Amino acid sequence: MTVRIIYVRHAESLWNPIGKYQGRLDPELSERGRKQAPLIGKALKKYNPTALYTSPLKRTYQTAEYISKELDLPINIDEDLIEIDHGDWAGMLVEEVKEKYPEMFRRWLYEPETVDFPNGESLYDVLHRVRRFQEKALEKHDGETIIAVSHTVPIRASLVAGLDLPLSKFWSFGCDNASYSILDYEEVRPILYKSNNTYYLGDLFVPALDAL
């Protein structure tokens, strides 16, 4: 049977609008993010999800709390959904990274699979984690629809993994704040059913900044 995973990127955090790399650092949702998050739950109600998972970081957990209230689902924390460890980039603005790590920044945009963040993780580390989450979901939730609240890097990596694409295709998927994407794991083949949906945000929509 099909297992449907709805990947939700957390609502806007305090650092998203200013273009600061977050990684494992833990800013909370912004005022706009707290207005976006309830709208996600309302938009997902029609899919009748049966389980809700989230990364443990504040920006994801707080987003999951709003979804939980709307859908009456308990929250399950899963460390495999946590954001990539940006290492030395964490807490830096995009412009600061461009200046201090120009070659690595170029590779992050054009050859992301080659980047191993200093004192952090690589995309392959994240790919391993999200594949593990997918395997757990397929084993535990046969025939169900579940929600996974995560971050831009794990979500893009999840779509790459689910569709069995090379990691070089990482940037091929949009992933705005408070968006959702749906991957159906069917017996014959996986299907990307929805991608980067944000229609329900209205005037609260803000496009993601480049390179984040």
Q: How far is CA 104 from the centre of its chain?
A: 22
173: containing domain? 3-204
Structural domain contains residue 180: yes
Q: Annotated catalytic, 10?
A: yes
Structural domain contains residue 133: yes
Structural domain contains residue 56: yes
- Contact of 91 with 25, CB cutoff 8 Å: yes
- Contact of 2 with 184, CB cutoff 8 Å: yes
Tokens read off for 194: 């929805």
- Contact of 21 with 90, CB cutoff 8 Å: yes
For 145-192, the pLDDT digits (tens) are: 999 999 999 999 999 999 999 999 999 999 999 999 999 998 788 999
Identify the band that residue 1 occupies on the pLDDT scale cut at 50, 70 and 90. Answer: low
Helix axes 123-140, 152-162, angle to 10 degrees: 70
Structural domain contains residue 98: yes
Structural domain contains residue 212: no
Contact residues for 59 (Cβ-Cβ < 8 A; gap 6+): 10, 11, 13, 22, 26, 27, 28, 29, 33, 151
Structural domain contains residue 121: yes
The model's pTM is: 0.98
Structural domain contains residue 102: yes
Active-site residue among 86, 128, 141, 151?
A: 151
Structural domain contains residue 59: yes
Question: To the nearest 10°, the Cα dihedral for 186, 192, 198, 200?
Answer: -40
Active-site residue among 10, 86, 128, 141?
A: 10
Q: Domain tally for the chain?
A: 1
For 22-39, the pLDDT digits (tens) are: 999 999 999 999 999 999
Q: Please report, for the domain that includes residue 30, its CATH number.
A: 3.40.50.1240
